[in-house]
Structures are given as structure tokens and as C-alpha cells.
Structure 1
Amino acid sequence: MHEEMPLEDLISGAAQNAGGWLGALPVALVATSGDGTIVRWNHGAQELLGYDPHHVLGRHIADLLHPGADRSLGRSLWETAATGRGVMGTVTAWHRGGHPLELEIWACPVPDRRHGASAVLVFAADAHAARRIRGSSAVWDGLFARSPVGIAVLDTQLRFLQVNPALEAMNGLTESAHVGRRLAEVLPEVNAGEMEEAMRQVLATGEPVLNRRRTGRTPADPDHDHVWACSYVRVEDPAGRPIGVIASLLDITSQQRDHTEAEAGRRRLALLTEASSRIGASLDLERTAQELADLAVPHLASAVTVDVLDSLARGNEPGMGLTGGVALRRLGKAPLTGSAVTQILAPLGRTLTFPATAPYTQALAARQPFLIAHLDSMAVASASRHTPKPAQLVETGVHSFMMVPLVARGLVLGVASFYRTRPFEPFGSDDVTLAGELAARAAISIDNARLYHHEHETAVVLQRSMLPQHVTPPPGLEIAHRYLPASDVNEVGGDWYDVVPLAGGRAGLLMGDVMGHGIAAAAVMGRLSATVRALARLDMPPTALLQQLEATLADLAEPMLATFLYVVCDPATGRCTITRAGHPPPAVAEPDGTVYLVKTPPGAPLGVGGVTFTTTDLTLPPGSLLVLYTDGLIEARNRDIDERLGELTGLLTEPLQPLDHLCDSLIAHLVPASADDDIALLTARIGRNHPNGTYHLNGR
């Protein structure tokens, strides 16, 4: 039989062994004698109630209750404990600081040989704190058991200590299959190494790791990959030392799939938006085809080629039938360098001919995409009857292929081919749809380029036919002229010039510019040119002539404007009469090197209506130059017009040079690149050239 333990040892042991949730609270340990006198008062009691031991030792324990409380409850609890039964209850004590404090107490009798009667050992704790801890424990137990989130507790060696039912269901393994094992041992088909590294980081730093992705397969669903969002928090003892990790996991596979699909949708939309701004802006056939290829790599495919009907590439109309095969011109290819795939494929500019039975021809004839999601030996063998390229492409890693015809306004224009290598997945239905959208945009742009070039050529032919074919100036007047249409990527305008013989050996020098582009502008230009010739031959005064041109424009169904410059020049006297209707002023270069722009009222463009036109007279010395031009010669992007006019006059400081050379020099210096607008230029030198190189007016 064991000897009874002294009261002091019982109190010391109780203080050391208080565990569970009680161990997380400041607990007062008080001992009384059999009559209720306090005989022990530990440090915890002093912290809880504020009394030093000498304040309470020898007093009855009931004296510590709230003065206004019913003390009978406290005495009853103590008497019950003293009779041999343990009790629990709640009492209101009086803190030394002068305020009430609700306590939960646990009291039990303790035999005490020294005092000859049973003593009472009392534990006391703050009632509010005790209830909070009990509630937290209950919440944890409920959360662990019922939460749909997978929860695991692991020790510092990252071995499972406990898992909840939700995690058992996620992993397809019972709790006993987890306990004592590490993640890599339990689930070898997930990225366990990354997860354990994250947990070690939490143990080392104490900083939680949130939303780390675990991916792979578990026994719960061994045939499909899953994604889990994992968070890890360090568990510490009261001294702050790490004792383990709590892991929480949520299966986000469906959300991840939705996010992936949404992200793919955003990428497709962004690609289509970029296609709208990039493809076809130039109205150039070759550039449009290359833009499609460049845009699709690498966003959609590893390599892309774009082939246009050879007839279309040569400027002819596309053929309507493909029964006898097809000839295609390669106008787009990406990437141009650094790809083993594109090294095998035919280079840019090559014309490729395919028989009626070839996949290319069939795709064009059907006007439907042609897809080989998986390039296998059977598919390669079928295609290799026409070319060895499929087998070579497979050797370079191509595993998926599709062709999409370029169709616009009912016309087949060509085909775009898409190739995929690893790590790309095989082409799917979404990829076919996206490729079709890109091809449709490119096809419309290619057809727009076709229609534009057709109209452009028509306008150029029309405009050239309406310009004077043979200019015959009167004696005493030397003439040179140039017409430069806008570049292929800009529409032809309505610029024109003319020299009209007048009575008395005079000449009318004309320069006009119809505002607008294309066939309509060229047609109006021709109408105005014919009207001017007819009216000038009637020797109509310049201001009256401009009023008649104004009326001609007013008769048009669609309102149009035109600038106009009319100079009546008498070579015999050097006298010139100048009339402007919104046109740039003529430039004059005199034989002594004096160069200037004629100061004459600018007037308003023809077609504005209600304008009174005026004339300006000046007399030029023999050998003087008159330079008439349209705004295409002097206008330039991001350049001031006065600066450009200064450049023009600066090029006229050598007035005795041949006029043809002067015209070429002006265009070469002022328009070194392709013209954004039409350019018309007319130069006239006044006076006869004597054999000695001097000039004089007729009859002088």
C-alpha cells in the first residue's frame, strides 16, 4: 500500500500535470485546511486574483468571494468538497484591484496527516477564458470532423498524425493508411516533393504558405489528374517551438478547368482582336499573307504557311473551278528562320502545283477545314503519294496538322496550313474554329487587296488617259511635266495638269487637284479638264472660267471639291495673269537666281460656292521659270508645310538647268520614297534660247 503524499507534493504535482485545454489557462491552485482556512496560495492564484500570499494565508476561503454575492453557494461547495466529494462550479470572487471576477472552480478533498483532517485542493480559472477555450476546442473538433476541406495534422518529420474524413475521401485512403507515413509514401503520383519543401519552409520560418498547388492522381480517381489548393500553418507549443504542421486542401480541379478554358477564351479573343488591327491594314497581298502567318505563331501553331492562288498572285482574277488541280503561290511563312519544320517547307514565292486528288485541292474544293489531329503512319502514307514532305515533317516532330481554306465573298483565294510540334497538344475543335476566324479575316483582307488593286489599276489607266498625251507649247515657252500616281498601297487621286494654246501666242497653264481618291476622283478630274480646255479656247477671262468650273462641280450628284491654279502666260512679253482657287502658289525662279512664291490671294476651293475669284498680274524677265505643282509634292507626314515650301524654292536656285532634269530632281529630293498622294508637276521657262545660251522674249 502506497504512503499518502504530502499536501505540498500534491499541489506541486497538480501544477505540473495540468493538461488538455486546462493547461492553456492561468490556473490558481489553493489549498485549505479542514475548516476552510487557506494554507497554500500559489503564484497562479496571485496572478489571477492579485493577492500576495501574506494577504490571504490564514483567512477563510469564503472571504475571497464578492461582498454582495450569496456566500452560501461558496460555503456549500467547500463543505461538499470537504466531506469527500469533488465539486465543480462558478463563483464570483473579489479581485484585489476592486472589481468582481467570475471564476470556474474545481475542488476535491485531500487527506492531510499533518493537519489531522481532510484538506481541500481548489483549482480556479477565469470563467470567460475557460468557456472560450472549451468553445474553440469544440469548434476545432466539429471543423475537423465535418469540414468539406481536407485537413491533416503532421509532425515535424512530416509524418501524418491525423486526417479528417474529407481528406480520406480526396485521397481514397483511410486514416490508418496515412498515419505514420509521409506524403510521398502515401501518394507517389502527386508532386509530393514540392509540397514537403513548402511544409519544411513553414516549420523553419513560421510563415504560413497559402494556395500552393498539388497536382496529380490519387486512388480516389486514378484515371484523371486533379488539382488541389493547399495551405500550411505551423503548430507551436506554449513556448513557441514548432511541433507540427496543419495542412488544409481543397479540390479545385473543376475551377481550374473553368479558369483554363476562360483563359484560353481570353487568349483567343485577344488574338482575334490583334488580327483585326494587324491583318490587312496595308492592302498588300504578300504582306497580308505574312501577317496571318506571323500572328498564328506561336499562339496557335508551331509553324504556318499561307498559299494564295497563283492566278491571284499574278494579278488576275481567281479561277472558279478546281477540278483539274490547283496552283498556289507561297506568300506567307512563319517562322522564317530557326525552325526545322519551315526548312522542309517550300520557300516564299514558290509556286506549288497539286493534282485534283491532293489534300490541298480537296480542302479548297470543299471549302472546309481539313484536320489530322494525330499524324500517324496511315495518314503519312496517304499523303506521301503526292509528296515526301509529310514523312519528313513527322521526323522533325510535327504531330498534328490542319488546313483552312481562305474564302471571301464566295471566292476561294488560297489556303493556310498549320503545324504543331511538342509541347503543343494536338489540334482540337477550338483550334479549328480559331484558325477559321483568322483565315476568314485574312481572306477578306486579301480579297479587299484584290479589289483595291483592280480599282487602283483602273483609276490609273483612266487618269493617265485623261492627262494630255502631247503638250505643244506656243513659241517662246519651254515646257516639262511629270505625273506620279500614288503608291500601290494608296488610292489614286484626281491630280492633273494641262497646257492650252490661246489666241495671240499665249498659253494657259493649268494645275488642278480633285479632293478624293479612286475612280470617282479620276472621273471628275477628266470632266473638269475637258471643261477647262473648252472654256479656255473661247478666251474666257480667268475669273469667269473658274465660275464655270464651280457650276460644273455643282451639277455632280455627289458634292466634290477641287483646288485649281490657272496661269495665262504671254511668252512675247513675259506677262502672266494668275488665278487661284485654294491651290498651292506657283514658284518663280528668275535668271539671276532670285526664287520666290508668287503672292496671290489663295481663294477657296472650287465646289465651296459663293466665292469671288481674283487675279494677280506680274511680268517675268526672259529665262524665268514658272513651277506649278499639286500638294502631293510638298506635303509630308510630321513636316511643316512652310518648311517643305522652303525646300522647294531651295531646289530652284539653278534656273538655267534643263527642265527635264529639274523635274526629276524635284521629285527625287522632295519625294524620295513611295508617294502617299498623287503628284502633278508642270514647269515652264519663258523666252527663246539663243545659241549663246541667253534668253529673250519673242520679237525683242
Structure 2
Amino acid sequence: MQQVPFDEVTTNAARDAGGWLGALPVAVVATSSEGTIVRWDHAAEDLLGYTPHEVLGRHIADLLHPGADRVLGRSLWEGAATGSGVMGVVTAWHREGRPLDMEIWACPVPARHRGGTTVLVFAAEAEAARRIRGSSAVWDGLFSRSPVGIAILDTQLRFLRVNPALEEMNGLPQAAHIGRRLVEILPDVNAADMERSMRRALEEGRPVVDSRRTGRTPADPDHDHVWSGSYVRLEDTDGRPIGLAATLIDITAQQQAQMAAEKGRRHLALVNEATLKIGTSLDLERTAQELADVAVPDLADAVTVDVLDSLAAGGELGAGLVGGATLRRLAKAPLTGSPVTAALVPLGRTLTFPSGAPYTRALGACRPFVVADFDEQAVAAAAGHSDTPAELLRLGVHSFMMTPLLARGVVLGMASFYRTRPVGPFTEDEVALAGELAARAAVCVDNARLYRREHDTAAVLQRSMLPQHITPPPGIEVAHRYLPASDVNEVGGDWYDVIALDDGRAVLVIGDVMGHGTAAAAVMGRLSASVRALARLDLAPEDVLYQLEAALHDLAEPMLATFLSIVVDPATGRCRVTRAGHPPPAAVFPDGTVRLLESTPGLPLGVGGIRFTSTDVTLPAGSLLVLYTDGLVEARSSDIDARLSELTDLLAEPVPSLPALCDRLLTHLVPASADDDIALLVARVGGGDGGAPGGTG
């Protein structure tokens, strides 16, 4: 096989190509840059006898004569793939088992669909080609029939010749090209960038592959296109540059498909991010801010979120939007550093819109309101309702949309999106994306609304069931506290009580229904009422627990509860401690020592099949008993033993009164946002009111 350098191709092409395409059947084969056959047309099948199924995926050198130098054959295609197109004569092996001499012309072109480079190969029977050699039809035929735009330019980058495909791409005849440079005939493309690539190919002698041309031409003046260009230096026999060969392929459709796929991936990633970041709490303001933060900057440059004022105030949704809309601004992004958000209504402010305003119409229609091109005309349309649009236009807003927050068909508010960067107006896909984000946030806002209503109901129910007035018998002084969980968590079922018995004794009670919400509060009320009734029957503490467990088993949905009772005789200091899975009580003795009272812990009420026991202890007069629920001593990041040790250390420090002791424990042991509700009961046994026992004073 004889390999001919590309510079000979350029000088001989005018003589040879037309004959190949005009008088001869010409096979058109395409390979990857590694030589793997990726295209095999009917002419190639007629020429060598192989069907596409037999050759696709094979290396083109495999089709050479078995005795040929395959290393040379592979180097031929490697040379073509790197840009130094080749022309030559090769001996192929026909499917019928005979040699066949062929003339080939190979050159690289950018791959349309896979990226990289494709080697395009024209081939014809060598003997027939030699019979018509001498004609200039090869180059003329190649120019006239190639679907690839081809041009020859001189060393000053002036057009010498263009083929019909390039005339069609540019929308200009060959006469408009000849003698002129690209920057002169196509001012609406990046001609200067292309000429820099051309000069690099001329100066360095290395082909430039896949240099992108973008913009508009007279062929399609209303739409942007993208072309892939490749440039190869033409040389004389002494290697001096004499010009440039350029090929051009329109890859607009491919680019649009890639951009659409990339945009789809970005949108999917944003939806996934919204799923993770919107609705991390049941707080209205936080959910609104999460929506705004997620949308900036991938979807918009500024975002505001407003909800109905009745909803933000903790009430019901109201009668709809009759007569206008009143909303409260709960979120904006970015919070700082944006002139647009700085010009908008601050957080917490109420906005009122009349029934005819675009804002109200968008809410009433329950569909997005989009101003793709925010301009003077759009400002004029809103001038009667607000001065803000004019200010936004001055700050560079060029596209705007409002998307209602809808949950279960009910309007909860509105998210507004503003765009200032030069990335074009909001598209239909982006409007749909904004709707997905708003729908996600709306569900979370509605959940927060429903939670708030249930939380408030449960809180009222629970507080109504806690003892309103505690009157201990003589010889016992008490202080108590109830601290609900933070707004992030639901109300629980913690309670306490002090029940005076006829013989001067008292029953100190504290319990915790496992669960949250109205159901837990209702069960707590049921247990607390039962305890009061059973204690006055003078039942043994163990029997009281059995009755409470039976009451839990009677529920339609079984629940568990922890429970602690201490029957105290202030005259003798004798105490009977009975536990059902509850944290141990603490005792503070008159000398200041503190310890947790040892008693059988038992299992929570509702487990069933458990034998409850009691432990008797006697306390010196003036001792303190401290009863508490687990919310006081349990923390996610701390060991329970360490927390109990912290509790006993705090109890050992002097305080002026029992209420002050309660406040100290809550202040030091409970964070600002408690994870669980807390009940706390402190009692001084005996000693009257005159002294400060042990750690109190």
C-alpha cells in the first residue's frame, strides 16, 4: 500500500475526485479514529462483496490483502485521524477470495453523534480510476456532491472557492465569497474566533479540528446555529504554506439535543435537591425560606415567597380571594447582597392587592403568571397597582413569573421568581419546574398549618388536664413546672400531680405517655383522672399500677406510659416508691448530699405481664424529693449517666426556694429548643417552711 501525504491530496483532488464520483461507483466508508468501521454503504458492498453486518465493528485494515503490511495500513488511518488526510492505493481482499486494488481518499471530520473524530473514506477500483485520471472531475465532483461545507482559502484567509453545501449554509453564492474574508461576509457569527483558529493552522501546520462557529447567517437570519469547522494547511512540494482547506458541518440539532439533555439533568438535580431541602421542619417561615434558597441561583436570581395572611397568623385559610388578596412575606433569597430583593417588601410585611391586580388574578386562576420579557410595556400594565415594577426594571429584571402555592386544590400563597442575568427569559420548562418546587413547598406549608392546629389543640387539652391548683397536706411543700416541647416537635403526654390522703399522707405522681399530639394528651388526661380516683380508695401503689395498665389495654390503639408514684408520710419521713419504667427520683438530704433513690425500675405500663414492686425509704425531715420526666435528662448527644450526674450536681448547689430550684434545673439542663416536653415536681418533706435543708437555702 502506498501512502500519499495530504498536501498531494489537495493538489491532485481537482483532477481525481470528479472522476470517482461521476464515472465510477464510489464506496463511502466511515471509521472511528482508531480505524473501526462505523459506516458501510451499498457501493462498498458492491465493490468488495461484504455486507454491513460482516464488517461493522472490524478494523478497516482487516480488509487488506493477507500478505499486505498491516502496520502500514493502520498508520494510514492513524494519519488520517490526526488530521493529515491521505490518498493512496491499497490492495484489499474481496469476499470471494481475490485481491482488489483500490484508490482511496481519507480525511477526518468531527463525529456528529459521538464526539471525537470520524475518518471519511472514499474508495474506487484502482484500474478504472487510472483510466480516467487526468481529468479535474475528482475535485469538482467532491465539491459539488459533498454534504460537508468545503472551502479553499489563501494565506490571507480570503476565499478562493466554496462548494454548494457551504453556499447553502451561509446563504450566499460563491461569488459573494471569492476574494473576501469571513469577517467581511458573515458579521453575525464569531468570525474573529474562527480566523484565529485558521491562522493557528497556517502558522503551526497542525490541523485544527472541531472549531465551533456560532451565530446567524443569511440562510436562516432568525435563528442561531452551531457549526463544527476543521482546518488543514495546504503546502507546496517544498512544504511552504499556500493556503487552507476548511470543512464545515452544521451541528445545531446535536447541540440542541445535548443542551436539552443537560438542562433536563440540571432540572432533575434541582427537584432532587428540593426534595431533600424543602420541608425539613413543620415551620412556615423556614419552609418558605427553603423554597426561596433552593431556587436561587439555578432557576432565578431572586425569589420571594408570600402566604395568605390568615395562614401566617395561625388562623384558618379564610373565605378565599374575594375582593383582593392579603399576604405576608415570609421569605426572600438572597437575603443580602441583591439590589432586587433589597427593593422588594421586607420579610414579615403584609401585602394587600386589589381584585384587579395581576397578583390577585394569578392567585385566583390557580396557575402561573409569566412575563417572559419584562419591559416598559409590562411596567405600564402594572403602574396603577404598584411602583415596584418600574424599580425592578431599572435594576435589570428582564423576566418574571409568579407561581401559586397549591395544596389539595387550595391556594396558600405565591412564589415570585425574578431573572436579571443575561440567560434569556423563563421558558415553559422552567415554568413547569417552578411549579414542581412550589407544589413541594405548598404540601409542606399545608402540613405545617395542620400541625400547628393539632399542636395548639393538644397543648390546650394537655394544659387543661394538668392540675390547676395543688394543695399538699401539712408538712409538705411543693413546686412544679411544665415545659412543652419546642414548636418543631409535637406536644407530649407528660403530667404530674399531688394527691392529699385523709390520714395526712400525700401521693406524689409523675408520668409520661409515650407518643405525641392530641392522642397522647387525651390518654394522659385519662390516666391522671384514674390515678386520683384510685389513690383515694387507699389502694396499694402496686394495685394502682395494675389498674392503670388495664385502662391502657382498653384503648382501641394500645399505648405505653411510664409512671412514678411516691406515697409520703410527712410526720415520719417514710416514703414508698413505685416505678413503672420511669427515671429514678432524686433525694436531697438536709446535709446537702444528693442521691438517686434505689428502687425496682419496672417496665412501662402497657407492656403487660409485669409484676410491680415498691421500695420503702425513710427521709430525714427537711429532705427534698425531685420527680421529673425523661425530657429533663435525655439529650441526643449525651450519655444518660452523664446527664443524671449533671442533675445531682445541680441539686447539691444552694438555692433560695423550691421554685428557684425548678428554674435552675430547667435553665441548665434544657436547651432553648427542647426535643420533648418536661414535667418537674419538687417536694420538701417535713421541716416546715423555716429552714433550708441541705442543698437549699
For residues 157-176 of structure 1, what are the structure 2 equivalents within 5 Å? 157-160=156-159, 163-174=162-173
Residue type at the aligned position of 1:150: G
Query: Compared with structure 1, are the counterparts of its residues 175 and 483 closer, same or farther at alpha carbon in structure 2 (3 Å cutoff)?
Result: same
CA contact 1:483–1:680 (8 Å) conserved in 2: yes
User: Which shifted more, 275-284 or 416-425?
Assistant: 416-425
* CA–CA separation in structure 1 for the residues paired with 2:372 and 2:90: 71
Name the aligned partner's letter for residue 139 of structure 1.
F
Identify the residue that residue 300 of structure 2 maps to in structure 1: 301
Distance 1:526 1:240 in 2: 101
Change (3 A) 1:464 1:190: same
Cα separation, 2, equivalents of 1:303 and 1:587:
56
Q: Distance in 1 between matches of 2:202 and 2:569?
A: 103
Name the residue aligned to 1:532. 531
Q: How many residues align?
A: 577
Inter-CA distance 192–545: structure 2 relative to 1 (3 Å threshold): same
Contact preservation (8 Å) 2:578, 2:613: yes
Distance of 1:219 and 1:656 partners within structure 2: 91
Q: Which residue of 2 aligns with 1:65?
A: none
Cross-structure match for 1:478? 477
Q: Deviations along 1:548-594, whole A, 9 cap, x unmatched? A: 21111111111211111222222222222222222111122222222
Aligned to 2:263: 264
CA distance, structure 2, for counterparts of residue 385 and residue 629 of structure 1: 62
What is the CA-CA distance between 1:681 and the residue it aligns to? 0.8
Compared CA separation, residues 482 and 238, structure 1 to 2 (3 A): farther
Partner amino acid, structure 2, of 1:135: I
Please say if residues 483 and 681 of structure 1, whose CA atoms lie closer than 8 Å, have aligned partners that are also in contact: yes
In structure 2, the CA distance between the partners of 1:231 and 1:615, relative to structure 1 (3 Å rule), is farther
2:150, 2:165 within 8 Å by CA — same for their partners in 1? yes
Which residue does the alignment assign to 1:348? 347
Residue of structure 2 in register with 1:678 after alignment: 677
Using the alignment, how far apart are the partners of 1:520 and 1:648 within structure 2?
Answer: 31
In structure 2, how many angstroms separate the alpha carbons of the residues matched to 1:367 and 1:127? Answer: 72
List per-residue Cα deviations over 1:3-29 (Å, max 9, x = no partner). Answer: xxxxxxxxxxxxxxxx968x99xxxxx
| Contact preservation (8 Å) 2:592, 2:693 | no
Q: Quick one: structure 1 residues 177 and 468, their matched pair in 2 at CA, closer, same or farther if it must change by over 3 Å?
A: same
* Residue type of the alignment partner of 1:577: R
Determine whether 1:603 maps to 2:586.
no
Query: Is the contact made by 1:590 and 1:655 (CA closer than 8 Å) also made in structure 2?
Result: no
**1:233 offset after TM fit, Å?**
4.9
Q: 1:576 to 1:257 in 2, by over 3 A?
A: same
Deviation of the 1:501 alpha carbon: 1.8
- CA separation in 1, counterparts of 2:638 and 2:201? 64
**Residue in structure 1 matched with residue 406 of structure 2 by the alignment:** 407
What is the CA deviation profile of residues 288-338 of structure 1, one whole-angstrom value per residue up to 9, with x for unaligned ones? Answer: 222222222323333322222222222111212432223222222223333
- 2:326 corresponds to which letter in structure 1? A
Counterpart check, 1:135 vs 2:118: no
- Tell me how far apart the structure 2 counterparts of residues 162 and 380 of structure 1 sit (CA, whole Å): 52
Tell me: CA distance 1:275–1:692, structure 2 relative to 1, closer, same or farther (3 Å): closer
Counterpart contact for 2:90–2:103, Cα < 8 Å: no
Q: Residues 126, 313 of structure 1: CA spacing in aligned structure 2 closer, same or farther, 3 A cutoff? A: closer
Q: Cα–Cα, structure 1 residues 188 and 547, in superposed 2: closer, same or farther, change >3 Å?
A: same
Provide the rounded CA distance (Å) in 2 between the counterparts of 1:201 and 1:590: 93
Give the C-alpha shift of residue 667 in structure 1: 0.6
Letter of the structure 1 residue corresponding to residue 104 of structure 2: G
Task: Check if 1:577 corresponds to 2:576.
Answer: yes
Deviations 1:36-70 (A, max 9, x none): xxxxxxxxxxxxxxxxxxxxxxxxxxxxxxxxxxx
Gap change, CA 1:178 and 1:578, over 3 Å in 2: same
1:369 matched to 2:368? The reply is yes
Partner in structure 1 of residue 494 of structure 2: 495
Give 2:600's aligned amino acid.
Answer: P
Within 5 Å, which residues of 2 pair with 1:218-229? 218-229=217-228
Cα distance in 1 for partners of 2:381, 2:651 equals 71
**Counterpart residue number, 1:78:** none
TM-fit CA distance, 1:185: 3.5
Cα separation, 1, equivalents of 2:404 and 2:89: 82
- 2:61 is matched with none
| Aligned-residue offset at 1:664 | 0.5
The residue aligned with 2:394 is 395
1:652 aligns with 2:651: yes
Name the SS of the counterpart of 1:677 in structure 2: coil
Shift of 1:478: 1.6
CA–CA separation in structure 1 for the residues paired with 2:456 and 2:306: 24
User: Contact conserved, 2:89 with 2:104, CA < 8 A, in 1?
Assistant: no
Alpha-carbon spacing, 1:543–1:147, altered in 2? closer, same or farther (3 Å): farther
Letter in 1 for 2:509: L
Assess, with a 3 A threshold, how the Cα gap between structure 1 residues 679 and 188 changes in structure 2: closer, same or farther: same
Aligned pairs for 1:171-570 (under 5 A) are: 171-174=170-173, 178=177, 181-205=180-204, 208-233=207-232, 245-570=244-569
Instruction: Name the SS for the 1:688 alignment partner.
Output: coil
Q: Secondary structure at the match of 1:505?
A: coil
* Residues 132 and 495 (structure 1), Cα distance of their counterparts in 2 relative to 1, 3 Å cut: farther
Task: Name the structure 2 match of 1:593.
Answer: 592
- On the 8 A contact 2:343/2:392 being kept in 1, the answer is yes
Paired amino acid for 2:455: H
Describe the SS at the equivalent of 1:654. Answer: coil
Q: 1:281 to 1:694 in 2, by over 3 A?
A: closer
C-alpha deviation, 1:503, in angstroms: 4.5
Shift of 1:620: 1.8
Asked if the contact 1:591–1:656 (Cα under 8 Å) also holds between the matched residues in 2, the reply is no
- Cα deviation for residue 486 of structure 1 reads 0.7
CA shift in 2, pair 1:503/1:429, >3 Å: same
Which runs of structure 2 are paired with 1:35-50 in the superposition (5 Å)? none
Cα distance in 2 between the residues matched to 1:528 and 1:462: 14
Instruction: Note closer, same or farther for the CA distance 1:20–1:472 as it changes in structure 2 (3 Å cut).
Output: closer
User: Within 2, Cα distance between the matches of 1:405 and 1:593?
Assistant: 63
Residues 574 and 621 in structure 1, CA contact (< 8 A), matched pair in contact too: yes
Task: Kindly state the Cα deviation for residue 511 of structure 1 after the two structures are TM-superposed.
Answer: 1.4
Pick closer, same or farther for the CA change 1:179–1:380 going to 2, 3 Å. closer
The answer to whether the 8 Å contact 1:320/1:411 transfers is no
Q: Tell me how far apart the structure 1 counterparts of residues 453 and 400 of structure 2 sit (CA, whole Å).
A: 35
Give 3-state SS (helix, strand or coil) of 2:390's partner.
helix
The 8 Å contact of residues 589 and 655 in structure 1, kept in 2 or not, is answered as no
SS at match of 1:352: strand
Alpha-carbon spacing, 1:135–1:693, altered in 2? closer, same or farther (3 Å): closer
Residues 623 and 656 of structure 1 are in contact (CA less than 8 Å); yes or no, is this contact kept in structure 2? no
Q: Quote the offset at 1:340 in angstroms.
A: 2.9
The TM-score normalised by the length of structure 2 is 0.76
Give the C-alpha shift of residue 369 in structure 1: 2.4
When Rg is computed on C-alpha atoms for both structures, the one with the higher figure is: 1
Query: What one-letter code is carried by the residue in structure 1 that aligns with 2:676?
Result: D
1:293 partner amino acid: A
TM-fit CA distance, 1:153: 4.9
- Which amino acid is the alignment partner of residue 651 of structure 1? L
Partner SS, residue 135 of structure 1:
strand
Decide whether the 8 Å contact of 2:476 with 2:688 is kept in 1. no
SS of 1:548's partner is helix
- CA contact under 8 A between 2:274 and 2:437: conserved in structure 1? yes
Distance 1:126 1:305 in 2: 71
Contact 1:624 1:655 in 2 (8 A): no
Distance 2:297 2:90 in 1: 68
Q: Is the 8 A contact 2:573 2:686 kept in 1?
A: yes
How far has the Cα of 1:521 moved from its partner? 0.7
8 Å contact from structure 2 (residues 90, 102) kept in 1: no
Closer, same or farther in 2 for the Cα pair 1:237/1:641, shift >3 Å?
farther
Distance in 2, Cα, partners of 1:524 & 1:272: 41
Does the 8 A contact of 1:286 with 1:332 survive in 2?
yes
Q: Distance in 2 between matches of 1:300 and 1:127?
A: 57
